[in-house]
Homo-oligomer: A and B are copies of this chain.
Amino acid sequence: MNKPLARTRIQRKNIALISEAALNIFSAQGFRGATVDQIAREASLSKPNLLYYFPSKEAIHTHLLSTLMDTWLDPLRELQATGDPLDEILTYVRRKLEMSRDHPRESRLFANEIVQGAPHILGLLGTDLKTLVDEKAAIIAGWMAEGRLAPADPHHLIFSIWSLTQHYADFDVQVRAVLGPDRPDPFPQAEAYLTTLFTRMLSVAPQGPA
């Protein structure tokens, strides 16, 4: 309940400015690695001015995390029982991969948080996130029971989609280093690879259905 609604346009502008700057710094340095001075400089604000909008460094971080959690889970929310099973999965994979490509900072912010034990959002993981995943896993399990997807553990299927797609954001520097400096954009290859992977994994009649 810090600054739930930005009343004036100056507030809106500066809170957006701070959020942008904080996303840059936190995603690159982690929570403890980031300093308030860095964020203030990045936002072109004085430190006391930044602290005027957020009561503490932790408040900025929490604000970011909870704001982003929603958008982060949107692709999974879109997975609908009514669609074609394989299409739904592949669309989810592509949407997640797009997020890694277009929002790597958000991905790294979460990665930093989770790797270090999710100290700030542990609660959400076991409640909101678990609920959503269980719901979608049930849909997938339904498809498999109907014979419309090859059988596999639905939860681990979702984990595998997360890990594979987020890898291209979180471990970007490693991916690029291994591929070499000549190939600047690994994402098209990644999309082709992941499409093949999940198609082969989940197709009921692997070499083309009847």
A66 to chain B: closest CB distance in Å? Answer: 16
A200 to B131, CA, bound (A): 29
A160 to chain B: closest CB distance in Å? Answer: 6
Let me know if B177 and A29 touch, CB within 8 A: no
Closest chain B residue to A35 by CB distance?
B32
Which interface residue of A115, A159, A178 has the most chain B CB atoms within 10 A?
A115
A76 to chain B: closest CB distance in Å? Answer: 11
Let me know if A164 and B171 touch, CB within 8 A: no
Let me know if B29 and A173 touch, CB within 8 A: no
Q: Which of A149-181 contact B (CB under 8 A)?
A: 150, 152-153, 155-157, 159-160, 162-164, 166-168, 170-171, 173-175, 177-181
The one of B32, B129, B178, B200 that contacts A125, using a Cβ cutoff of 8 Å = B178
Size bracket of the A interface: 35 or more
A194 to B152, CA, bound (A): 10
- Identify 15 residue pairs between A and B in the complex whose beta-carbon atoms are under 8 Å apart, listed by A's number: A30-B115, A30-B116, A31-B33, A111-B115, A117-B173, A118-B174, A118-B177, A125-B174, A152-B193, A156-B193, A160-B164, A160-B197, A163-B166, A200-B201, A201-B201
Evaluate whether A159 and B150 lie within 8 angstroms (CB atoms) in the complex, with A118-B173, A173-B117 already known. Answer: no
User: Interface readout for A120-143 with B: 1 if CB under 8 Å, 0 if not?
Assistant: 001001100110011000000000
Closest chain B residue to A132 by CB distance?
B178
Asked whether A96 is an interface residue with its Cβ less than 8 Å from the other chain, the reply is no
A178 to chain B: closest CB distance in Å? Answer: 5
Asked whether A196 is an interface residue with its Cβ less than 8 Å from the other chain, the reply is yes
